[in-house]
Structure 1
């Protein structure tokens, strides 16, 4: 069954050929179970492991995808992967990009985003009361109750 044409090179893509390889089948299955945003960012992130001269083998891509998804919950992982992708794109434009060889950079980004995660809004805040919602967000972001405002050493 001819699926469509490749948007880049315009060659035909056959669904039967894509699923001939077991790792390719498993990778497609894994990606179809994700929501659109997570799947898209995951594919882009996995692409950061591919060198310019070689394609990424399906079994390697599958392993990378599984390992990546095991690192964190989906909302935090999505944000961290997007940050890594944007950072690596900037490096590509500067000409200093080397393909990733492990998930250490993503792990560091996850640690950083975990450290700055803002507490969820209280249950009593409803969407109907925008002023209360803004006040709760401001209080969560600017929790300054325990800060010593005196200047030491003066």
Structure 2
């Protein structure tokens, strides 16, 4: 029997049993359809829902995966939000009293931050003038303000 080891939670996953379970088979097909970096970030995020004393069930993992995919259609922003969420929650998981996630509210906030950063206008940076005339123009513009 082929055993896979989850790099996030270190659980042993028999591949054969996953393929026999409808939800497991569907989850694997959903993950395989994603870009590898997005799939990796999504699996890592799902590990934050794992109950303390048991494994995350295939059906619940599939439902969570679908909920996450429904949050945004932009794969790049979803990946950035998942990575930011996992980075922050990874630090918190080490603290005593950690409890698994029960909803996607934290991910939603991270997605809002990622989307706001993508929409925010980039302030032009003032390049150093290359001549004295350019420096004079910059000084005049500063006085005008």
Using the size of structure 1 for normalisation, the TM-score is 0.70
Cα deviation digits, residues 55-104 of structure 1 (max 9, x gap): 11101000000110111111000000001101111112233432110011
Contact 2:45 2:85 in 1 (8 A): yes
CA distance in 1, matches of 2:44, 2:81: 13
CA distance in 1, matches of 2:70, 2:50: 20
Distance of aligned partners of 1:114 and 1:6 in 2 relative to their CA distance in 1, 3 Å threshold: closer
Contact 1:80 1:106 in 2 (8 A): yes
Structure 1 equivalent of residue 116 of structure 2: 115
1:3 aligns to 2:2 (yes or no): yes
Distance of aligned partners of 1:4 and 1:97 in 2 relative to their CA distance in 1, 3 Å threshold: closer
Distance of aligned partners of 1:110 and 1:14 in 2 relative to their CA distance in 1, 3 Å threshold: closer
CA distance in 2, matches of 1:112, 1:5: 35
Using the size of structure 2 for normalisation, the TM-score is 0.74
Q: Give unpaired runs (5+ residues) of structure 2.
A: 126-141
Contact 1:88 1:97 in 2 (8 A): no
Q: Give unpaired runs (5+ residues) of structure 1.
A: 120-139
Aligned-CA RMSD value? 2.6
1:37 aligns to 2:18 (yes or no): no
Structure 1 equivalent of residue 71 of structure 2: 71
Structure 2 equivalent of residue 142 of structure 1: 123
CA distance in 2, matches of 1:59, 1:14: 16
Give the number of the structure whose alpha-carbon radius of gyration is greater. Answer: 2
Q: Secondary structure of 1:19's partner?
A: helix
**What is the total number of aligned residue pairs between the two structures?**
124
Contact 1:27 1:58 in 2 (8 A): yes
